[in-house]
Each structure stands twice: as structure tokens, then as C-alpha cells.
Amino acid sequence: MERVLVNGQALDAVATTDRGLLYGDGVFETLAVDAGRPCYWSAHMQRLQSACQLLGLGAPDAAQLWREGLSLIGDRQRAVLKIVITRGPGGRGYRAPESPLPTRILQIHEWPDYSDTCQHDGIRTTLCATRLGRNPSLAGIKHLNRLEQVMARREWDDRTISEGLMLDTGGQLVEGTMSNIFLVTAGTLCTPDLTQCGVAGIMRARVLAIAGQERMEYQVQGISVDDLRQADEVFVCNSLIGIWPVCAVDEQAYVRGTVTTRLQVLLQEDAAARTAR
């Protein structure tokens, strides 16, 4: 069973002239596969389309990605599907070819061996020294320029720490290296606004949508380290982990609160309903 398709072919390589490699000129999506099907497919496709549009990459063919995704998934029930779209091969220099031939990479990965305690008891995190640069023109996009996350992830080696939290260069809390972050303070849910930097996660959008449906109070706003220190509950989320309560940011402890637990339950119902469709 293949593990990688490049432009529909069972190849595990791209040309050294690929602009994804040379400039990070591309975007990606990481999807949970459950019961043999990619979860939140249409949300991922919408985000992929708008990212490609912003970069001028042309609209990827979602039906083709679906077919290729299913062929890679095969009879796997639980897995991770990664989709990468680059501007494809080009000559030397930043100028893109006049008629780019984007490269389409699909990879299937084993489902990560997440401990159940992450869901139940929460995770320990650390506040990273590496900051995120602010740039509204690329903010929100899940593009291939991810050195800041790589550098942040290099900061800790302690396997009991599951995530690193990142501030931007202005000192505002933005996200985890691989997740979005939410705080609950005096009953109000809040998450950093991502107009300056950060990745606008699919799970973040689901949590906000669910909060709206449930008429929970929530705010998308600038969040400082002080706000983080004073929060009653903290959790992180992404497409693979769902919601993980944060039980520690370095030396400061947090307890899993009722809002986090409620959102975990609602998110699980939401995911189950979508898988069943």
C-alpha cells in the first residue's frame, strides 16, 4: 500500500527545482482520518482553496484530492493525511514561472500514539523564547514557511512537555507550535486574534462555531502573558488532538475546568455527527 502520491504518482520525491523546497512556496493541510475517512474535509478544502488563492497557486481540484486521499488511506481506519501544494518546479530566482505546474503531495502517516491522559488530565507546556514575526499579509495561512515553529520546537527536549506556546515579537500570545490556544477567564472563552501572525486552525474555527451555537460568551482578541497567567482554564486544539486541556505552563498549574470539559464533549459530538454524514 502506497504512503505517498506526488501528482497522483507513487513517487516519494520532488525535483530539487521545486519552489516548495527552495522558498517554502506552498501550503499544506493536516487531516485526521477516522473510520477510514478524512475528518472535516470541506473545512480543510475551503482553507486550502483560500490559501492557494492568496498565494496565486490556482485552485486545487478537491475531488481529485479526495480520490487520491482515499486511495492512500486504503483500509486504514485511523491515520493522518497530509496534503501539500507547492508552486511546483521553477527556474532560479523568486519570479514564478508564467504557467506554474503546482506539485500536489499526499502523504499518509500512522495515527500518533497520543496518551489518553492528554485528553483527560491535560498536558504540560512551556512558553517558548522563539517569537513569531508579525506579517498581516501571510497571517492565518498554513504555508510552508515554518522555521519559527521548528526553532521553537527545538527549545525543549523533555518528553513530559507536549507543546510550546508562542508569543509574537510584540509580546502577544498567539498559539502553540502545532496548535491554537484558548483561555477561559471568568467564564468567557477567548482566543488570540490572528490578524498579525499564526495559523487559523480548522479546530479553532470549530470550537468558535460550537461556542456560538451554544451561546457561550467568547472573544477573539489580543492576549498578553498576564492574561494567560490569570486565566482559569487553558486549552489547545488542532485537527489531530481535538482539545487538550493545559495543566501547566512551565511552573504555573491550571486545572481542567467545566468550560473545557463541555467543549471537549461538544467537539466529540460535532466530529461524530460529521463523520456519520
Which residue from 9, 16, 99, 160 is in contact with a copy of itself, where contact means CB under 8 A? Answer: 16
Q: Is 30 a catalytic residue?
A: yes
Q: Does 55 bind a copy of itself (CB under 8 A)?
A: yes
What distance in Å separates the CA atoms of residue 137 and residue 83, rounded to the nearest whole number?
Answer: 22
Q: Is 72 or 216 the residue whose CB approaches a copy of itself more closely? A: 72
Q: Give, in degrees to the nearest 5, the angle at Cα 106 between 139 and 136.
A: 5
Cβ–Cβ under 8 Å, residues 241 and 235: no
Q: Is 142 a catalytic residue?
A: yes
Catalytic residue among 29, 68, 163, 175: 175
Distance (Å) of CA 105 to CA 48, 87, 91, 167, 170: 13, 12, 20, 31, 35
With residue 175 as reference, give the H or E element that holds it: strand 173-176
Minimum distance, C-beta of residue 265 to a copy of itself, in the bound complex (Å): 27
Which set of grid coordinates corresponds to residue 160?
513530559
Q: Is 82 a catalytic residue?
A: no
Q: Is 167 or 231 the residue whose CB approaches a copy of itself more closely? A: 167
Which residue from 125, 149, 191, 260 is in contact with a copy of itself, where contact means CB under 8 A? Answer: 149
Radius of gyration of the chain (CA): 19
Q: Is 20 or 245 the residue whose CB approaches a copy of itself more closely? A: 20
Q: Does 21 bind a copy of itself (CB under 8 A)?
A: yes
Q: Is 86 or 264 the residue whose CB approaches a copy of itself more closely? A: 86
Which residue from 13, 186, 273, 276 is in contact with a copy of itself, where contact means CB under 8 A? Answer: 13
Cβ–Cβ under 8 Å, residues 223 and 183: yes
Beta bridge partners of 196: none
Minimum distance, C-beta of residue 44 to a copy of itself, in the bound complex (Å): 16
Q: Does 1 bind a copy of itself (CB under 8 A)?
A: no
Which positions lie near a copy of itself, rule CB under 8 A? 4, 6, 11-25, 28, 30, 55-56, 80, 82, 84, 86-87, 91-96, 105, 107, 109, 112, 130-138, 143-154, 169, 177-178, 197
